[in-house]
Amino acid sequence: MRIISGSLKGKKINYLKNLNTRPLKDSVKENIFNILKHSNFINTKIESANILDLYSGVGSFGIECLSRGAEKVTFIEKDDYAVNILKKNLIHLSLLNKSVIIRNSVKNFLNTELKQKYQFFFFDPPFADNNFLENLKIIKQIKIFETNNTIIIHREKKTIDNFQDLINVKSIKSYGRSKIIIGDFS
């Protein structure tokens, strides 16, 4: 796994080698960033953005954002082993000063008193997890998003999720086994 672009282009990222996690493939990550950069329906920019990386694993998406000029990434991950690798990645790449690591479930994090607002939300829940829809609902209720915001959701291509009344879906693209949904809170 590597960083695709930006100031850290080409640097390697350590990842988990077990059956419980599935890293975001470089090709899927590259397609997400191409959409974010070149699409006319997204008016949020990664540069100087505050990003919430939910179910972050080893931080592949958030680290890519930092390499591309994001101001800060908050990583939410409950798996201790993944958090340890994430922290090692951030230390190795000298990114700890632009990062916050929260070792907790997404739901528990969202149920704390949050004052920070974010421009980008990246959801990469386990493919079998449908509880992430409840987390989208919580974010919408507590309004921790800026007016210009973008939501990126990584799901298995076969999953059917009902986003009605939660987000404004702008694009759905499939890449092999993965499906990427891009939208915003309106």
CATH code, 111: 3.40.50.150
Judge whether 117 and 145 are in contact, CB under 8 Å.
yes
Q: How far apart are the first and last CA of the chain?
A: 34
> CB-based contacts of 111: which residues, under 8 Å, 6+ apart?
138
Digit-coded pLDDT (tens) for 104-138:
999 999 999 888 999 999 999 987 787 899 999 99
What is the number of structural domains in the chain? 1
This prediction's pTM: 0.93
Residue 57 φ/ψ region, left for φ over 0, alpha for ψ in the -120 to 50 degree band, beta for the rest: left
Nearest Cα to Cα of residue 28 among 60, 67, 71: 60
Digit-coded pLDDT (tens) for 27-49:
889 999 999 988 888 888 999 99
Residue range(s) defining the domain that contains residue 88:
26-184
In a domain, 14, yes or no: no
